[in-house]
Amino acid sequence: MGSNPLSFSRPPQKLVFQGLLFDMDGTLIDSTAAVEQHWHSIGKELGVDPKVILQTSHGRRTIDVLKLISPEKANWEYVKHMESLIPQLYGADAVEIPGARNLLDSLDAHHVPWAIVTSGTSPLVAGWLGVLKLPTPKHLVVAEDVVKGKPDPTCYAMGRGKLGLEVGADVLVLEDSPAGIQAGKAAGCKVLGVVTSHTAEQIVAAGPDWIVRDLRSLKLVVGSEKGVELEISDALDV
């Protein structure tokens, strides 16, 4: 893109999907401040520079980060307990991504199939949804459900299956991290990237189908238990 200014100006586009799969942190909620405080605390506990952890932690499972920095702590009992504390201790530092609540409410109102597919553990997901009082999906894929985390596509393939959809179905993945975008594409899904936690250049390089600033660019047009027609507006013109 060189030195040209970014232009989120693509004309509105209407598309039909049979189901939606949402990443959580950075896509539905912004818990950056909370997670940074959390990793500073854990870094001190483990004797590791928090800045080193934060350079590689976003979009990755905590257990995978711990395998690198403190292998003796890389077990699910420790990880789930540690992550359960984040919403309890730092809940006031998290906010919803603009447009997230309206989009999820509209999906639920029209019985559209959707799920959360996240690198967080089940206690972390439950904690954040409770603190922010966001709609709770019928289906979840969490960190402990898969052997390999993103960018491995297993999580999104599993999410598609939980919606009762097969390979080749029109599924939209919504993601904020390059690793998550790559996972969604590798799973055979269409991917919408949001520029909330990474630069637009980093999101472009990951190769999503559409790039928007946040979820205010998505509007439900028609929805049912068979799927949804969405309008995507103000996407990045690349």
Tell me, what CATH number does 87's domain have?
1.10.150.240
Same domain, 115 and 164: yes
Residues 141 and 43: their CA atoms lie apart, in Å, by 27
Residue 138 lies in a domain: yes
pLDDT band at 38 (very low <50, low <70, confident <90, very high): confident
Residue 140 lies in a domain: yes
pLDDT of residue 35: 85
What Cα–Cα distance (Å) separates residue 99 from each residue in 37, 42, 95, 111?
A: 25, 32, 11, 18
57-69 mean pLDDT: 84
Q: Is the pLDDT of residue 238 over 90?
A: no
Same domain, 145 and 123: yes
Q: Is the pLDDT of residue 76 over 80?
A: yes
The CATH number covering residue 179 comes to 3.40.50.1000
Q: Which residues contact 83 (CB under 8 A, 6 or more apart)?
A: 62, 120, 121, 123, 124, 127
Q: Are 51 and 92 in contact (CB under 8 A)?
A: no
Q: Is the pLDDT of residue 41 over 90?
A: no
72: containing domain: 32-93
Same domain, 15 and 63: no
Residue 5 lies in a domain: no
Q: Is the pLDDT of residue 83 over 80?
A: yes
- Return the closest-CA partner of residue 86 out of 140, 132, 147: 132
Same domain, 211 and 104: yes
| Average pLDDT, rounded, for the chain | 93
Same domain, 130 and 152: yes
Q: Which of 66, 93, 120 is the last residue of a domain?
A: 93
pLDDT of residue 4: 57
180-207 mean pLDDT: 96
Residue 221 lies in a domain: yes
State the angle between helix axes of 50-57 and 62-69 in degrees (0 to 180), rounded to the nearest 10. Answer: 140
Ramachandran angles phi, psi of 75, nearest 5°: -140, 155
43-69 mean pLDDT: 83
Q: How many domains does the chain have?
A: 2
| DSSP for residue 58 | T
Residue 232 lies in a domain: yes
Q: What is the pLDDT of residues 194-237, one digit of tens each?
A: 999 999 999 999 999 999 999 999 999 999 999 999 999 999 98
Same domain, 59 and 109: no
Q: Is the pLDDT of residue 153 over 50?
A: yes
Q: Which of 71, 93, 115 is the last residue of a domain?
A: 93
Same domain, 15 and 101: yes
Same domain, 131 and 205: yes
Same domain, 39 and 19: no
Q: Quick one: CA dihedral 230, 238, 101, 113, positive or negative?
A: positive
pLDDT band at 1 (very low <50, low <70, confident <90, very high): very low
Q: Which of 44, 72, 93 is the last residue of a domain?
A: 93
Exactly one of 23, 30, 176, 214 is catalytic; name it: 23
Same domain, 111 and 184: yes
DSSP assignment of 127-157 = HHHHHHTPPPPSEEE-GGG-SS-TTSTHHHH
Q: Which residues contact 70 (CB under 8 A, 6 or more apart)?
A: 46, 48
Q: Is the pLDDT of residue 2 over 50?
A: no
Same domain, 204 and 108: yes
Amino acid at position 95, single letter: V
Pairing between β-strand 8-10 and β-strand 235-236 as defined by DSSP bridges: antiparallel
Residue 165 lies in a domain: yes
Structure-block tokens of residue 106: 């509209």
Residue 118 lies in a domain: yes
Pairing between β-strand 8-10 and β-strand 114-117 as defined by DSSP bridges: unpaired
Residue 106 lies in a domain: yes
Same domain, 147 and 178: yes
Active site residue 64: no
Residues 88 and 200: their CA atoms lie apart, in Å, by 32
Longest dimension (CA), the chain: 52
Active site residue 23: yes
